Amino acid sequence: MIELKNVSKLYESNEGNVLALNNIDLTVEKGDIYGIMGLSGAGKSTLIRCINLLECPTSGEVWVDNVELTKLSSNLLRQSRRNMGMIFQHYHLLTSRNVEKNIAYPLELNGLPKNQIKERVDQLLDLVGLKEKRSNYPSQLSGGQRQRIAIARALATNPKILLSDEATSALDPITSRSILNLLKEINNKLGITIVLITHQMEVIEQICNKTAVLKDGNIVEQGLVSRVFKAP
Ligand code: ADP
Ligand code: ADP
């Protein structure tokens, strides 16, 4: 489903260069919940942003669904990106739009007719369990509720892949667990492949089947969670 081949990322600046990723090879299969773990500065954020090319690798290849993204024109890349939804630590909801309009936003961009948008938004609100909040604004929601809306929006266009950039890091442990359970349910029920980054081992243990540990831009450990984290 996702394959990174020999991916490196060098940030160049006057203050000095940083090799954020060093020859990364990573394979994510359909149906995986793949967790990338590491300390702050390890390269997690750069790595996940290389999957949808929000960040362009300095060298190497990125393949998603048998397409080499690193070779695509910007138009075709935009199409391929529709295969991937993304959620963030601070939700990135549009503060001037209510819940319904936040979820509808990517569908409006795709030019979906109004009645189909309404139907899809209803389905998504049902999925994340927040039908009663449809007219509220993000400022009127808790952190966990905001993340649920962000998840609904990320899934609006039916992507095959969901990328999660520290989605539970700003939440208390109980809310965090409920969001992780929702992600697990989405993976199970809808067959969506999930790649997440986190600095918390508990997140990996709770929902991931596979993991890679990043350290200073290198993968130092990789494989089934049951193998990587359990004592021999
Ligand atoms: P993590 O997500 O694991 O905290 P990042 O991918 O954000 O790690 O960062 C990896 C390294 O790359 C760090 O040393 C960071 O300072 C550096 N870095 C990240 N983004 C940039 C950038 N836009 N310009 C220069 N250096 C960057
Ligand atoms: P952003 O605008 O940066 O995407 P928000 O405006 O949603 O994020 O949140 C701003 C900050 O407040 C973030 O650090 C977030 O973690 C925190 N936050 C969001 N919702 C709540 C909440 N219900 N209770 C406490 N803190 C929250």
To test the ligand 1 pocket, which listed residue (7, 12, 46, 88) has its Cβ within 8 A of the most ligand atoms? 46
CB of 170 sitting under 6 A from ligand 2: yes
Residue 144: what residue type? G
d(CA 49, ligand 1 centre) in Å: 11
Considering only CA atoms, which residue is closest to atom 26 of ligand 2?
Answer: 143
pLDDT of residue 101: 97
pLDDT of residue 229: 80
* CA nearest to 46, candidates 93, 91, 89, 11: 11
Residue 55: what residue type? E
Could you give the 3-state DSSP secondary structure of residue 164? strand
- When the pLDDT of each residue in the chain is averaged and rounded to a whole number, the result is 96
How would residue 164 be classed by pLDDT, with cut points 50, 70 and 90? very high
Look at residue 24 and tell me whether its pLDDT is greater than 90: yes
d(CA 189, ligand 2 centre) in Å: 29
Q: What is the mean pLDDT of residues 134-142?
A: 97
Q: Where are the beta strands (DSSP E) in 112-190?
A: 161-165
Q: What is the mean pLDDT of residues 125-135?
A: 97
CB of 149 sitting under 6 A from ligand 2: no
Report field, pTM of the whole predicted structure over 0.90? no
pLDDT digits (tens, 9 = 90+) for 100-117: 999 999 999 999 999 999
Q: What six digits make up the tokens of 86?
A: 């993304």
Could you give the 3-state DSSP secondary structure of residue 5? strand
Spatial neighbors of 19 by CB under 8 A, at least 6 apart, are 8, 9, 10, 217
Looking at the DSSP bridge assignments, the partners of residue 26 are 4
C-beta atoms surrounding 203 within 10 Å: 25
Looking at the DSSP bridge assignments, the partners of residue 113 are none
Task: State how far the Cα of 76 lies from the Cα of 11, in Å rounded to an integer.
Answer: 26
CB of 146 sitting under 6 A from ligand 2: yes
CB of 199 sitting under 6 A from ligand 1: no
Q: What is the mean pLDDT of residues 128-135?
A: 97
Look at residue 58 and tell me whether its pLDDT is greater than 80: yes
* CA nearest to 102, candidates 110, 111, 112, 92: 92
pLDDT of residue 48: 98
- Which atom of ligand 1 lies at the shortest distance from residue 214's CA? 3
To test the ligand 2 pocket, which listed residue (92, 97, 140, 146) has its Cβ within 8 A of the most ligand atoms? 146
CB of 92 sitting under 6 A from ligand 2: yes
CB of 143 sitting under 6 A from ligand 2: yes
Q: Are 217 and 42 in contact (CB under 8 A)?
A: yes
Residues of the chain with pLDDT > 70: what percent?
Answer: 99
d(CA 40, ligand 1 centre) in Å: 9
DSSP label at residue 49: H
Look at residue 49 and tell me whether its pLDDT is greater than 90: yes
How would residue 232 be classed by pLDDT, with cut points 50, 70 and 90? low
Task: State how far the Cα of 72 lies from the Cα of 76, in Å rounded to an integer.
Answer: 6
* CA nearest to 151, candidates 119, 131, 128: 128
